[in-house]
Structures are given as structure tokens and as C-alpha cells.
């Protein structure tokens, strides 16, 4: 299914960043001339040292922050503000504690022209897609961290997004839960059952990045710019113990030397 999807729409750019410059309110320049493309069927990863601005870049890509200059385009149209077509999944697990799992998922459909029953039905489908069938009436407090993150992902799915922006989505989970969720998410992402076309993930976990990504953008320097773009050609499923995997890992480590200050 995955291969089919990729072959159908090779090289069609879904989300792109063109010449992005961005500074904080205090004048500190974070990015200089960032260019990025997310093609159909591609899992893109952005890596870089801590504090380089990976999460900020993700928010610019989602329209949550406006760049000083440059454009973000979603399927050719300029993106000016957040839209349900580009769903952001946070590093912190964001569920609304006063809502059940189903209500949490229904939240992303509230602005759509749907009846309550339609929303509930779709929420159930989304929850079952992330393995939470039968847990619809549970409150987040009654769930584990992994389950809550699945609820957040189901909520994002329910909005029928074209792009997923994932900000270190497995960082708050233990390694075993994260591993299971990673595989599940990857399988769902490109199953073809959803309108999802591309994923952009930020992570500092290089093993995770190599396991999932088709393409890796490397951020470094101050202000940050893309210093490398690596296509990951390893066959799936990828074995983190293989020599090929480790040589790729070494290559990524090579890029991530401490940032060099231009100023």
C-alpha cells in the first residue's frame, strides 16, 4: 500500500517552505533562508542540536508563527494561519482532561458541518485506527501516557489532515511504548485509509529518525539554516543493529557538531 501510494504521486510537493527568515520579538534571529519540501508519501525528519529552533520551525510550517520573510505553501497555496489540513502533534501530550477520549477526538471536527452522531462515529474510527477501540469513554486521567498520545494522534487524524507535523511525539514516552507507537503510527500514516500525504517530524532521537524518515533535514549554525539534506534509502523494516543503520547514524552525528556562531 505504502509503495503504491508513493508511486502514484511521486515528487508532488505537499508542503514547502521558501526562504524563511524568522526572529524572536527580542530581535534574536533564529532562521536564515530555510528551504524545505515535503513530497507526497514522504516522511520528513528535521534534526538539529537542542535550542536550534526545530519546534519553532515546525510552528512556522503550520502557520502558528509568521516568518519575517519567505512563504509557506500548502499544495501550492500560501499558508497564512493554522488550518486543520496541517495537524500539529505536540511533544507534550495534549489531551483535554475534562473530555473523554471520544470527546477529545471530536474536538477537531467541531468546526465542520457534521452532526454529533457523525462526529462520534468518525471519532470511534479514528480511535480504533490508533488501537484505542473500546476506550472511547475513558478520561485521559484514566489512561497511560502512550494511550493519551494515541488520543492526541487520533484527534489529529479525525480532522483529515494532508500533513502531520510531529514535534518529538515520542519524547515523553518510555522506550518500549515509544517503539510500539512508532511502528503503529508509521503503518497508519501511509496506509492510504486517510487523506494524509506527508509527515514532518522533529526529533533529537537519531535512532528514531533513521527508523522512520525517508528524508532528513539537518539544522545547524546560528542563525539556523539547513546544512544538510539526506535521503534515507535503507529498506524497511530497518534494523537499528545493522551496519548500514549504524553507518547512517555516524553520518548524522557528524552533522550535529556544536553550532558555529557566525556573529
Give me the residues that bind another protein (CB under 8 A), please.
Answer: 23-25, 59, 62, 64-71, 76-78, 80-84, 86-88, 90, 92-98, 107-108, 110-111, 139-141, 145, 148, 155, 159, 172
Identify the CA nearest to 153 among candidates 118, 121, 128, 117. Answer: 128
Lookup result for grid cell 471520544: 102
Helix (H) / strand (E) containing 126? helix 116-129
Nearer to another protein, 79 or 230 (CB): 79
Nearer to another protein, 139 or 255 (CB): 139
Q: How far is the CB of 262 from another protein (least distance, A)?
A: 22
Nearer to another protein, 105 or 213 (CB): 105
Q: Which three cell numbers stand for residue 138?
A: 475513558
Q: How far is the CB of 243 from another protein (least distance, A)?
A: 37
Nearer to another protein, 65 or 249 (CB): 65
Nearer to another protein, 59 or 238 (CB): 59
Task: Kindly write down the DSSP assignment for every residue of 179-224, as one continuous string.
Answer: HHHHHHHHHHHTSSSSS--EEEEE-S-HHHHHHH-SEEEEEETBTB
Q: How far is the CB of 225 from another protein (least distance, A)?
A: 19
Q: How far is the CB of 116 from another protein (least distance, A)?
A: 14
Positive or negative, the CA dihedral 221, 226, 232, 238 is: positive
Cα 253 to Cα 258: distance, rounded to the nearest angstrom: 11
User: End-to-end distance of the chain based on CA atoms, in angstroms?
Assistant: 48
What is the DSSP-derived secondary structure letter of residue 52? S
Q: How far is the CB of 39 from another protein (least distance, A)?
A: 18
Q: How far is the CB of 24 from another protein (least distance, A)?
A: 7
Cα 224–Cα 227–Cα 231 angle in degrees, nearest 5? 130
Nearer to another protein, 105 or 218 (CB): 105
Amino acid at each position: 500500500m505504502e509503495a503504491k501510494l508513493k508511486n502514484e504521486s511521486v515528487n508532488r510537493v505537499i508542503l514547502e517552505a521558501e526562504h524563511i527568515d524568522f526572529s524572536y520579538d527580542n530581535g534574536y534571529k533564529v532562521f536564515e533562508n530555510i528551504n524545505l519540501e515535503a513530497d507526497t508519501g514522504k516522511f520528513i525528519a528535521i534534526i538539529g542540536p537542542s535550542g536550534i529552533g526545530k519546534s519553532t520551525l515546525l510552528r512556522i510550517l503550520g502557520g502558528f508563527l509568521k516568518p519575517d520573510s519567505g512563504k509557506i505553501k500548502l499544495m501550492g497555496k500560501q499558508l497564512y494561519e493554522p488550518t486543520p489540513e496541517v495537524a500539529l502533534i505536540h511533544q507534550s501530550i495534549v489531551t483535554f482532561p475534562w473530555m473523554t477520549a471520544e470527546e477529545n477526538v471530536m474536538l477537531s471536527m467541531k468546526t465542520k458541518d457534521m452532526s454529533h452522531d457523525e462526529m462520534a462515529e468518525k471519532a470511534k474510527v479514528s480511535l480504533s485506527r490508533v488501537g484505542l477501540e473500546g476506550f472511547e469513554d475513558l478520561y485521559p486521567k484514566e489512561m497511560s501516557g502512550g494511550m493519551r498520545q494515541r488520543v492526541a494522534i487520533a484527534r489529529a487524524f479525525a480532522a483529515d489532515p494532508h500533513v502531520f507535523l510531529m514535534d518529538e511525539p515520542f519524547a515523553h514516552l518510555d522506550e518500549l511504548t515509544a517503539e510500539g507507537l512508532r511502528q503503529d503510527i508509521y503503518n497508519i500514516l501511509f496506509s492510504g485509509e486517510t487523506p494524509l500525504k506527508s509527515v514532518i517530524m522533529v526529533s533529537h532521537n537519531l535512532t528514531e529518525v533513521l527508523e522512520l524518515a525517508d528524508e532528513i533535514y539537518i539544522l545547524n549554525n546560528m542563525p539556523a539554516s539547513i546544512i544538510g539534506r539526506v535521503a534515507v534509502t535503507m529498506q524497511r523494516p530497518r534494523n537499528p543493529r545493522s551496519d548500514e543503520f549504524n553507518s547512517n547514524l555516524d553520518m548524522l552525528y557528524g552533522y550535529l557538531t556544536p553550532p558555529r556562531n557566525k556573529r
